[in-house]
Structure 1
């Protein structure tokens, strides 16, 4: 499920919107992944690049790159016919282009490893990994073995599941 937040919360509608939500949605944990870039655009990345969360966490993707639009797109056949790199029971997402200051949320409920990318910047290794739950959780699915449509540079940029689980959040190298 994707929820576009755009400027609504910044305009003061957040409190009234929160009061209208069912109690179960009000207590959802929300974590943020930022879309970043250097002022001239020579480097772009997700921050953090690797993140460990519990099932049911809402992940908010926020574009803090003043110079470029970005997407957060799950590797999945429904998204540009890509090979699946999220758990089989998980819903794929594509935030669409988020311009500077815009955001979108997804709620991840299925335990396992979720790899995602920025559509226009994948070849610059603007990719990320979210680990939901832990190995041994019911329904857990580890990282996808699919590599036929992902470059070696992209695979090398993804933090390992062990790194993500040990640290909780992993920043992109050199960022």
Structure 2
């Protein structure tokens, strides 16, 4: 028959193990909403900044009843846009999503992923996803110069995303 001390030691070890264990959320999609004012005067992604783990699925949903939107990675394969996703990561382009339509991608490569809405990039409709612990950051210089100023100003900082996990701006 085990002693009371032995049972408590085993129970304590199990509780400590459960407290340490964190199940992976990689199977649960994270939603980014495409939104806009009814009069079309302002459009945005919500959240605009997001921190996720490798293997996480991101799902963009158009919640703007008055506009079509895209979720498009900054990559030379997408309209010769500058590379602003990690080297070796797969670029994506949702094509135009009508209201209530959705598009998903799974991000496997650690790093910083910048994306935009094709018809609304010049209105600052951009977003940033940080996957894991980024070793590389979006390139500056000519890649930054190829983006509209309003888009560059709309990206939340990587540090803010890492600290907060989710950055919302409306």
| Shorter-chain TM band | 0.7 to 0.9
* Counterpart in the other structure of 1:168: 165
Aligned equivalents of 2:112, 2:149: Cα separation in 1: 18
Q: Does 1:50 align with 2:45?
A: no
Give the TM-score of the pair, scaled to structure 1: 0.79
Instruction: Provide the secondary structure at the position in 2 that maps to 1:77.
Output: coil
Structure (1 or 2) with the larger CA radius of gyration: 2
Post-superposition CA distance 1:34-80 (Å, at most 9, x none):
00001111110000000000000000000000000000000000000
Partner of residue 65, structure 1: 64
Q: Any unmatched runs of 5+ in structure 1?
A: 1-26
1:149 aligns to 2:146 (yes or no)? yes
- Given that 1:29 and 1:56 are in contact with CA atoms closer than 8 Å, whether structure 2 keeps it comes out as no
Deviations 1:19-42 (A, max 9, x none): xxxxxxxx6231000000011111
Aligned residue pairs, count: 144
Runs (5+) with no aligned partner, structure 2: 1-25
Q: Which has the higher helix share?
A: 2
Contact 2:121 2:148 in 1 (8 A): no
**Equivalence map 1:22-33=2 (5 Å):** 28-33=27-32
